[in-house]
Amino acid sequence: MMETFDLDSIIHSEEQEIQSVMDRMNYTAQFTENKGFAIIINKNGVCLGVVTDGDLRNYLVKNGNLKTPVAHVLNQEFISVTIGEDTNSILRKFELDIQVLPVLDEDKKPVGIIKYSQFSILQNSSQWIYRARVPGRISFSGGGTDMSSVFNENPTAVLSNTLNKFCTTSLMIRPDDKIHIYSKDLKLDYQADNLGKLGFGDELDLIKMAILKMRPNVGFDIEISSEIEIGTGLGGSSAAVVSVLSVLNEINNEKKLDDYEIANLAYQVERIDMGLSGGWQDQYSTVFGGFNWIEFSNDGILVNPLRINEDVLLELDYNLLLFRVGNTRKSAEIHNVKNKLQSDDKYFSEMLKNTINMKKALLRGKVREFGDLLDYSWQLKTKMNSAVTNTFVEELYNSARNKGALGGKLLGAGQSGYLLIYSSPKYHEDIISKFSDQGVVPINFNFNPKGVEVWKTLI
């Protein structure tokens, strides 16, 4: 594990006087197992050797001069570690009763140190890769009532499920403090020398903030790959944040966060630190996964997994269609759009009542009733905030209803993204044909019963 400190404080040029090196050791001992330790380099930054306070004392006992350049006392047969070196090899070096090992790059330039007291086989093994996979979510009813400003006053609830579209984050520990972020979807690459030097101002800021909140004490390469476009109504941004938090949580040797803590931290990253408006359901839905009844109140948030009969789930899955509509949109901007109906408590109360009825319909196996209630949920949502829909969405939805669909809704904040339609399979062909005339095609999906999954594997 790389120690997070100013590496330059223990690096000295070969011309520096012994007195200067000794003075500096009094400060740097706190980073080097309470022992004086210095790395000596030439004018090109190449490591020539190391010096300990013992080496300097032995030299002075033999009438050495404090003004002598430190190059005269350095140990040129020192033991070091190279970037990417096997863990077993590092352990055998510590076996030689060495407490601090300098880490050198391929040009023999120092990039850090490894201390035995903080060395972890699990974290430093270059053979392991850690992954976290987080599903997207479908919100059937209750969306828009999961805002703090709403449930601080009156309890609300959301009925949601997760689907088999995922955001996956992969992580490999580095032997130095550098942080390398790569987004496969955005084709963006970012590097920082250490955690303290993470800079903001690009499309990776959400990921950087998630990293910053976890305060990792190692360097790493991290790659994010998602089947869920952010801003399309499937909780893509939350899935990305949760996947980053979860994979970093996995390498944390100290107290690991539980599911509720991960969901809360994801909310903090998105809503508070990054200032993105929205509710709480995405973070909780993606972390816990499966069919959930999520309760929101001033007392807190509680996730209740629903035990729905397998036959009901299969029938529901068989009746639902999912269509990609329009482009991505900034859900935060839609959440910020207010109209006079939003402040009317009767709509929040009616939405809760409808959400409870949808839950009951599922638990009792009444899928047709569920379809009708899905339609009412959409009608309520458009009344609560007219900005969630537009003419094109309304034309598509009405045409589906005219072709036999019982209900449906646009997922997420609205205007574009994914349109969910509930219909008897005998009407699917007509609905798909009508939508395809408008350039809208169905997306294959299935329910996914799991939330965040974390694992590690050998490279």
Question: Domain spans of the chain?
Answer: 7-119, 128-305+449-458, 310-436
Q: CB neighbours of 293 closer than 8 A, spacing ≥ 6?
A: 157, 158, 159, 303, 304, 306, 359
HSE (CB half, 13 Å, CA atoms) of 5? 16
pTM attached to this predicted model: 0.73
Question: Which residue carries 């496969």 as its tokens?
Answer: 184
HSE (CB half, 13 Å, CA atoms) of 319? 22
* Burial category of 17 from C-beta neighbours within 10 Å (exposed 0-12, middle 13-18, buried 19 and up): middle
User: What is the rounded distance in angstroms from the CA atom of residue 246 to the CA atom of residue 240?
Assistant: 10
β-bridge pairing 179-183 and 220-226: parallel
Interaxial angle between packed helices 259-267 and 236-250, expressed in degrees from 0 to 180 and rounded to the nearest 10:
130
Instruction: Give the chain as a 3 state SS string.
Output: CECCCCHHHHEEECCCEHHHHHHHHHHHHHHCCCCCEEEEECCCCCEEEEEEHHHHHHHHHCCCCCCCEHHHCCECCCCCEECCCCHHHHHHHHCCCCCEEEEECCCCCEEEEEEHHHCCHHHHCCCEEEEEEEEEEEEEECCCCCCHHHHCCCCEEEEEEEEEEEEEEEEEECCCCCEEEEECCCCEEEEECCHHHCCCCCCCHHHHHHHHHHCCCCCEEEEEEECCCCCCCCCHHHHHHHHHHHHHHHCCCCCCCCHHHHHHHHHHHHHHHCCCCCCCHHHHHHHHCCCEEEEEECCEEEEEECCCCHHHHHHHHHHEEEEEECCCCCHHHHHHCCCCCCCCHHHHHHHHHHHHHHHHHHHCCCHHHHHHHHHHHHHHHHHHCHHHCCHHHHHHHHHHHHCCCCEEEECCCCCCEEEEEECCHHHHHHHHHHHHCCCCCECCCCECCCCCEEEEEEC
Q: Say what the pLDDT of residue 176 is.
A: 84
Q: Say what the pLDDT of residue 2 is.
A: 41
The model's pLDDT over 352-378, given as tens digits with 9 standing for 90+, comes to 999 999 999 999 999 999 999 999 999
Instruction: Name beta bridge partners: 380.
Output: none
Cα torsion for 57, 59, 64, 70, to the nearest 10°? Answer: -90
Q: Say what the pLDDT of residue 341 is.
A: 38
Question: Which residue carries 């938090």 as its tokens?
Answer: 245
The CATH number of 128-305+449-458 is which of 3.40.50.450, 3.30.230.10, 3.30.200.20, 3.30.565.10?
A: 3.30.230.10
Q: CB neighbours of 344 closer than 8 A, spacing ≥ 6?
A: none
Q: Say what the pLDDT of residue 326 is.
A: 75
Q: Say what the pLDDT of residue 375 is.
A: 96
Q: What does R_g of the chain's alpha carbons equal in angstroms?
A: 29
The model's pLDDT over 150-160, given as tens digits with 9 standing for 90+, comes to 999 899 999 99
Q: Which two tokens stand for residue 257?
A: 């966060």
The CATH number of 7-119 is which of 3.30.310.50, 3.40.50.150, 3.40.50.2300, 3.10.580.10?
A: 3.10.580.10
Structural contact between residues 152 and 298, judged by C-beta atoms closer than 8 angstroms: yes
User: What is the rounded distance in angstroms from the CA atom of residue 198 to the CA atom of residue 190?
Assistant: 9
Residues of the chain with pLDDT under 50: 1-4, 122-126, 328-343
User: What is the rounded distance in angstroms from the CA atom of residue 157 to the CA atom of residue 297?
Assistant: 9
**CATH architecture for residues 310-436:** 2-Layer Sandwich (3.30)
